[in-house]
Chains A and B, each alone.
Chain A
């Protein structure tokens, strides 16, 4: 259950807009060669893209060329170059998540954009050509306006792509110049642009401000849930550590386990942990319970650290 949840969360974030770590098997499978420290081909599960190039500790090497291919674009290969921040810097980005089958192909330069909703930096198109794959092409400048995920977990990368330039119908040669805004697009999904007027950008910006306030509340709520889950894990681990004769001999703490558990839960419920990490909170409590008994305190700190390590695998 925990694994499936973390895979789901990972999938929501998976996309070559982020810095790649191809050593993560949830995301990538090495198809051939050395995908950790050498030259190899990597398959990305979420997008179906195969990346071929040099890898250093499973990450891209700045300035070197990568070739990308997709089974739905047979016989075609595209190039990419990554920057020192691990983000796509230039070349081609394939947008493979599509309802209709046509893969969107952006070729040009990229820029890094801070995405406040997922709290990550993402690579977004800057200047170039977006080929819709059905005859329409958008040739010009691109901007990106991050947007909120529909769910309260705020894990998925959403945003609006703003375009100014020429929309060309290569089927009949017609051209339309102006401002276009995409529908709210998920990470890696094809883009659908509509003509827009500047007033709409003001509306989107205003919605973004509103959504940031909503997201902050949700993030606080999610953080609180996560802390609570971790606290429960500590309670179990510390509770186990406090059981048995050797601990009662060491500390003689009748009711210490309950005091720790209830105290931690109480602080979390009352929000006293705001501004203080669960680790600090738990360790300060453990020290208090230890009451100067070094051996007991060390044992409890170990239990907390075990809980922390396991807690780190929890969805964040």
Chain B
């Protein structure tokens, strides 16, 4: 009896476990990239240990000189929340969504809506009535993204808190030194069919998607011998396995990192990592407008007895093995920011 109780308790425990391991990073040779990893590691610990990091100062400090709206939103890296600054981007996004098959209404409605935006300076100074030196702002705002599709509507609402530290010279930003952006998001999915709604609710609850999800993104830019920017965030990775009482879910924390830099020949490179491994690598030729990407994804098709080669979107993919794991290497190509189908992307 005792033995079976213990087995039961262990099995129940096994249904969902989270292992918070130390942050894992790729083994990089570039000293600037390694320095940014060190910076992120310190900031990550600092932010986690500082409950007041995003607290709105009371009273809110005033700007040291007259600063217009556009400058304030730019300082907070929130140009998409400013109607004038975002105008061209929104048109591009809408066209791009229509090119992906969205209807006019969906493309227009898929625009992220910003509300309750408050941006205050934490640290700022002016020289000759223009921002100069280190400027740090705190932005607090809400966002809502509503996507309507056939028979369903998806709403993602978020509360956001960003702290952005930049270096200014004569009113112009020279470098974005650090941006820490925290969001707490809630996903709501509404289906016309009550049976589908019930099934989706159940599946979302099992995957934990019915609870608010928190994410913190760290962004850095450095200007040394070449410009380099980096993004970091941690995510919860779920792996499923068969258990005594159904599927067991194992959760583990993954570190996601991305480095963007310039290369000789007017090119830029962006490499994304998940923990130690490269997840995706993109090289863009700024002169020709071509961008070639390679992405590595786990071969879940093979696990299910399927062949990825006959799946739409995998025409230019090949099977590889990384660390003993079956993976798919996918090749993509863009021309002037639009996907283009090619056998080999002419990025060189």
Contact = CB atoms under 8 A, between A and B. Distances in A.
A192 B101 contact: yes
B313 A183 contact: yes
Interface centre among A100, A133, A202, A211 (most CB of B within 10 A): A100
B340 A135 contact: no
Given A101-B150, A183-B312, A214-B307, A194 B339 contact: yes
Contact of B343 (A100, A184, A194, A199): A199
B302 interface: no
Interface stretch (B38-46, B102-110, B174-182): B102-110
A194 B340 contact: yes
B342 A210 contact: no
Interface string B70-108: 000000000000000000000000010011111110110
A211 B310 CA distance: 8
Interface in B301-348: 306-307, 309-313, 315-316, 335, 338-344
A132 B315 contact: no
A73 interface: no
A148 B312 CA distance: 10
Contacts of B316: 203
Interface string A124-146: 00000000111110000000000
A200 B341 contact: yes
A85 interface: no
Contact of A100 (B95, B102, B342): B102
A149 B315 CA distance: 13
A100 B104 CA distance: 10
A196 B342 contact: yes
Contact of B344 (A148, A150, A196, A199): A199
A99 B150 contact: yes
A207 interface: yes
A202 to B, nearest CB: 6
A102 B342 contact: no
Contacts of B339: 194-195
Contact of A195 (B104, B309, B335): B335
Interface in A86-132: 98-102, 132
B102 A134 contact: yes
A101 B152 CA distance: 11
A151 to B, nearest CB: 8
Interface in A130-182: 132-136, 147-150, 169, 171-172, 181
B150 A100 contact: yes
A275 B309 CA distance: 30
Nearest to A101: B150
A218 to B, nearest CB: 10
B340 A100 contact: no
Contact of B340 (A169, A195, A204): A195
A211 B308 CA distance: 12
Interface string B221-263: 0000000000000000000000000000000000000000000
A214 B98 CA distance: 35
B107 A204 contact: no
Contacts of B335: 195
A135 B341 contact: no
A132 to B, nearest CB: 7
B340 A196 contact: yes
Interface string B260-297: 00000000000000000000000000000000000000
29 contacts: A98-B150, A99-B101, A102-B101, A102-B103, A132-B101, A133-B103, A134-B98, A134-B101, A134-B104, A135-B104, A136-B98, A148-B310, A149-B310, A150-B307, A150-B311, A172-B95, A181-B341, A184-B315, A185-B312, A194-B340, A194-B341, A196-B342, A197-B340, A199-B342, A199-B343, A200-B341, A203-B315, A204-B315, A211-B309
**Considering the complex of A and B, which 10 residue pairs feature the smallest CB-CB distances, nearest first?**
A196-B341, A199-B343, A184-B312, A203-B343, A200-B341, A195-B340, A102-B103, A134-B98, A148-B310, A101-B150
